[in-house]
Chain A
Amino acid sequence: MATTAIDHAPAHTHEHTGLWSWITTVDHKRIGILYGATAFFFFLVGGLEALVIRLQLMGPNKTLVSPDTYNQLFTMHGTTMIFLGVMPLSAMFFNYLIPLQLGARDVAFPRLNAFSYWVFLLGGILINVSWFTGHAPNGGWFGYANLTTKQFSPGPNIDFWTVGLQVLGVASLAAAVNFFVTTVNLRAPGMKMMHMPMFVWMSFITQILLLLSFPIITVALILLMIDRTFGTSFFVPTGGGDPILWQHLFWLFGHPEVYILILPSFGIISEILPVFSRKPLFGYAAMVFSGAFIAFVGFGVWAHHMFATGMGPFADAFFSLATMIIAIPTGVKIFNWIGTIWGGKVDFKTPMLFAIGFIAMFIMGGLSGVMHASPPADLQQTDTYFIVAHFHYVLFGGAIFAISGGAYFWWPKMFGKMLDEGLGKLHFWLMLIAFNLTFFPMHILGLNGMPRRVYTYSAESNFELLNKLETIGALLLGFSFLVFLYNIIKTWRTPQPPVGADPWNAATLEWSIPSPPQHFNYPTLPQVHGRDALWELKARHGGPLPEPQRVAEDAVLMPNPSWKPLVAAIGVTVTLGGFIGGSHLWVHVAGVAILLYGIYAWAFEPAFPEHH
């Protein structure tokens, strides 16, 4: 694999700058950056909501926010963090990295990719608009019926949630099809499936999970929406429906969803650890199979969220055992990561710190997960802060640590500049300490009887001290993200010598091309012979490769930019948005019209510039 250098100054073409170029872009790298920026913004919004939650809970019987506002806050916090924070942050990495790591020019369907982003953005806006109408969703992130049926939630709050999540589902499904095809089909010549970087593998498995689990929640949301809009009784007991069916449908999706949230992070970690241990990933095949096994078994454990519902002993036992089994492949991953470090030469750069932090914290969350998996014990733990502790350890201690590490790791590739190491380390240590200060006491509180989703607690309960600590922790956690933001801004502003293609002496293909990569990524498709393609090349070359040269921007024919995906995305959002606060026929009609126009305009527009 050699990028034969053509001595051209980087040829800047006008279509590559300006707002319009971002709106019409179909370049996976730009879409990745859009995903990242948007998701990070939503993450901050979700974090801000968490801070208000924490301030309200700082002492007993506080009245910072009203009870209903509190309920809106935690519903939107959970929904935002999961669907608008962690999932699209992972999507940023999918977008940016999958084609690069595969040695491809772009994803299989660049315009579909843009469509996914726009639908995600509009869905996120739609669901958050509810704040401005004063009707933010207030039924919890799993929206249990029959509280969420019309009788008990007559306002439009829940409509924003059912509709918003459906819109977001469209985005996820479109993206999942795209990345599935990209991974299967666009691997560089010679790259077998078992040569793919671990991040691509974990992302690939995530796409399969998305494809198979999102339809289930879509159906659940549709049924709930129909119940609310047209008066059917799918989840209404008086009409013969059973609210528990909602729970089964939701968690049938919901549990695979948590692996959708964590598998990409497993992938990120598996890329960072080898590079900074200077040693290949330990047990590659076992890592692949354990990931697949987690995903597969993950479909058979959903009812561990329902141990308190009285499913009966056989169901309890089945789901308990199935859940525990997942600890085994996850353990395999943990041990293989430690095996990767073992015998290596560990360089404590910021990405590596986050990766190590991830392992350390995720173990904690995983082990509390196993403690919930035992129904008799879970009957005491469920719906208390012990659960809240568990899932923040896996979601924040897991996903957010990994994503932060990934951001530091790939930043130079994406922007051609290194984030500041000192500030990065400060960010890490602050986050590690603040994170534990915020969430560790939740274990103790939960076991000592503090229920979740309560807007306040009594003085008698004695929950005050630990809650105070948590609030302080949360504020500190917010501060750690300010450090990160400052780091970004500082790096942005300060001139820096270009970092070069391979600042970390890394293992995978994306580090063989200039940072940031050119539009077409690879002037010629690389030829791959095994795993860790770049390390192998360097080994063969007997040292660092020469710095790759930029070639003319028009050296490779790339797809046309297009604004049609945005039109189609608007169509989808408007069509479904018509279901907020009842069914509004004319809104549906307008939406469908826009959608049809968008799709036809898209279908009949040439994907590539007219012939050379």
Chain B
Amino acid sequence: MDDLKAIIESLLFAAEIPLKIDKIKTILELEDRDVIRDALTSLAEEYESGKRGFFLNEVAGGFQLRTRPEYGQWIRRLKETRPARLSRAAMETLSIVAYKQPILRSDVEYLRGVDCGGTLRTLLERRLVRIMGRKDLPGRPMIYGTTREFLELFDLKDLTELPSLKDLKDLGEAWPNDST
């Protein structure tokens, strides 16, 4: 593969949105759009004849590498098993339960200032939070706490290993020279 083609391939690979020919032209400081178009055509043919895992798709006025549709089933499996992240809302709710347990939903909601039914349900389903019991109040509201899975997720021996707010405060502010 000649250098220009390889460089264009690397740009296609790293690009977040479909790459326009003009953009490639600017990045590589080329005069000629045709050279780029030829390289793209040649890449597309190569992917096709080589029957690779991905192909070159002309889309939304640009070019983008995409996995072959016939492999969609495998990719979906990959995405299903991908370690998910917790949303910010779930993270906040979880942290309140972790630090303030045993705690009532109404207290979680007081602290977060929003309804937490949905995030608590998510956390219950993921077995990070459990119902420890019911409080002797009108309506017998449920009391929430964390689970063994919670400890495992964060690799904690027990709740005493949770870092405290003081630990975090002791670290001070992030170093100003590091642009985050």
Answer yes or no: are A and B bound together in one complex.
Answer: no
Binding site for B on A (CB under 8 A): none
Binding site for A on B (CB under 8 A): none
